[in-house]
Structure 1
Amino acid sequence: MTECQLIVDPPQPGSWNMAVDEWLLNRAADEGVMTLRLYQWRGATLSLGYFQAYEDRQSHATSLDCPVVRRASGGGALVHDRELTYSLAVPPGHALAKSTQQLYDAAHTSLIAVLTQIVQPVGAEFTRCRETDARGNGEPFLCFLRRAKGDVIYTSDPKSTTSKANPLVADGSFKICGSAQRKHRGAVLQHGGVLLAQSPQAPELPGVAELTGQGINAQQLGELWTSSVADQLGLELTKALPFSVGERKAIRAVETDKFGNDSWTRRR
């Protein structure tokens, strides 16, 4: 069993959320502390992947009024609104830092088990995507319109009575969770989000509530998921103490210098 601190945060601005994740990654590299964090966002927020051009956000009209932050991880843009977000900071030398696909798959497999338990879908299933879509230069702006190997997908049997009653799922499958990773001095940060419900700022993306007809409480999902993740990854979870004055000062410095800084957000 590996000792792992558990942090459950209230909704916070995007720049603070990204600064905390970066600080946890740095702490994992410097002090060998593993952390599992669950968090949400204060108001619908657009996060750009590290490699995306800032101007590309103009292509997505419904999120133009959202505040924007740039992640240090790659992937497509995310509209963080009606979702539960998580991060895992893994220290260097740990087996999971050396096998990042195993980390990706384990986090998503544990989520699938919990979603199936809560929703108990009829004529449908939550599964992991088998392969990455090859889209060439036509890659969609939004992350949830992309598919990577291991993403969590909701797929319905079009012949089932439930599917026929829901035009959303009658003809296809939908991504409801994806994750991204970043390495730093041997440590790994993995973070991602679960689409609980459709956001007015991203109406093309149905969440679990629209796909299954059943709403999911973020707190309930978080409690069950942390237990499932711990079992999958062999973690002994300990609730972390609130950030000290010094820790908050260090996180605020990361926010001011980087994620809350316009030069970082518009760097591409």
Structure 2
Amino acid sequence: MTTLADRDWRLIRDDPRAGATQMSLEEVAARTALEDDLRTVRVYSWEPSTLSLGYRQDVDTVDWDFCDREGIDVTRRQTGGGGIYHDRYADISYTIVAPADEVPGDLMDCYELFCEPILEAFDRMGVDAAFASAEQEAIYQPSCYLRDINPAHDIVAPADAGADAQKISGNAQYRQRDVVIQHGSISYDLEPRKHVGVFDADLEASTFTDRVTSIHDEVGIDREDAVDAIAGALGDWSDATESTWRDDELDAARELADRKFGSDGWIHDREVLAADEQ
């Protein structure tokens, strides 16, 4: 349990939602943390499967025809880094939202704090995972899972494999309205054809499987059990109360998805429509 557990937290085991809505809900949760003194941890999935671009990623790196053909949505995150293919089944994602003045000001210290429940979840599942102990050079920079592996925020398995360890989770942070938001992608299983196919590059599926591992490959547990372990670790870490989104939060997220995370202006040029331009 974290020292933050004496505050009010909620745990949301979220429904599968479109990528634009999932990104919007993070900003809505930031507002709730400030205005209602209620922090959020959640576990979620993406439906349809979605490619989330890093904040500054060039849209020319996307194979738009492949995404259209495979029914893969595209959105853009607030966090930097490379694109992540979030498969409806193979990816499990999480979010932690808390006021900035309650968490360490040093970025690395904050990563260490917010990744505690993620590492605990891996331990509960029997996955030998840890922060990367050695850097690995990038294979393909536009892809999060094929970028250089950074010991500060990349989680790998097995923990003691050094430079041979494979990435199993990528984590990133940003600040919104004096709130720290951390989100992460956890590989439950691998979909290498789609992971490389969403990018406009000549990449073999083996390029992905050589660099990345998954919960299923490491310990073979059911996806539902993996989700339960992640949700349980997040809830125990924050002493959170199980909850759901309020209707007004869902309404606000839909509106934000329309004018920001689901709009061509944001996805292609990081432009946000004003409320009266929808």
So what's the TM-score if we normalise by structure 1? Answer: 0.80
Q: Look up the SS of the partner of 1:5 in the other structure.
A: strand
Shift in Å, 1:157: 7.2
Q: Match of 2:49?
A: 44
Alpha-carbon distance in 1 for matches of 2:79, 2:49: 19
Identify if the C-alpha distance between structure 1 residues 95 and 172 changes in structure 2 by more than 3 Å, giving closer, same or farther: closer
Alpha-carbon distance in 2 for matches of 1:69, 1:172: 32
1:173 aligns with 2:165: yes
Q: Is the 8 A contact 2:11 2:41 kept in 1?
A: yes
1:152 aligns with 2:144: no
Greater share of helix residues, 1 or 2? Answer: 2
Alpha-carbon distance in 1 for matches of 2:132, 2:175: 23
Shift in Å, 1:130: 3.5
Deviations 1:132-154 (A, max 9, x none): 6576xx86211112212231101
Identify if the C-alpha distance between structure 1 residues 157 and 37 changes in structure 2 by more than 3 Å, giving closer, same or farther: closer
1:192 aligns with 2:195: no
After superposition, where does 1:82-161 map in structure 2 within 5 Å? 82-96=90-104, 98-119=105-126, 125-130=128-133, 140-146=141-147, 147-148=149-150, 149-155=152-158
Q: Which stretch of structure 1 is more off in the superposition, 193-202 or 203-212? A: 203-212
Q: Which stretch of structure 1 is more off in the superposition, 111-120 or 11-20? A: 111-120
Identify if the C-alpha distance between structure 1 residues 156 and 8 changes in structure 2 by more than 3 Å, giving closer, same or farther: closer
Matched AA of 2:175: K
Identify if the C-alpha distance between structure 1 residues 103 and 228 changes in structure 2 by more than 3 Å, giving closer, same or farther: farther
Shift in Å, 1:80: 0.1
Q: Look up the SS of the partner of 1:201 in the other structure.
A: helix
Identify if the C-alpha distance between structure 1 residues 157 and 226 changes in structure 2 by more than 3 Å, giving closer, same or farther: closer
So what's the TM-score if we normalise by structure 2? Answer: 0.77
Deviations 1:20-63 (A, max 9, x none): 112112322343321001100113211100010111113x9865
Q: Match of 2:253?
A: 251
Q: Match of 1:263?
A: 265
Alpha-carbon distance in 2 for matches of 1:108, 1:134: 23
Shift in Å, 1:241: 3.7
Q: Look up the SS of the partner of 1:266 in the other structure.
A: helix
- 4+ aligned runs moved over 6 Å, structure 1: none
Shift in Å, 1:112: 2.8
Q: Percent identity?
A: 24
Alpha-carbon distance in 2 for matches of 1:236, 1:156: 27
Q: Match of 1:208?
A: 214
Q: Which stretch of structure 1 is more off in the superposition, 126-135 or 37-46? A: 126-135
Q: Match of 2:27?
A: 22
Matched AA of 2:99: P
Q: Is the 8 A contact 1:127 1:154 kept in 2?
A: yes
Q: Match of 2:200?
A: none
When the two chains are superposed, the root-mean-square deviation of aligned CA atoms in Å is 2.8
Structure 2: runs of 5+ lacking an equivalent: 1-5, 196-204, 271-278
Matched AA of 2:51: L
Matched AA of 2:83: A
Q: Match of 1:182?
A: 174
Identify if the C-alpha distance between structure 1 residues 117 and 240 changes in structure 2 by more than 3 Å, giving closer, same or farther: closer
Matched AA of 1:181: Q
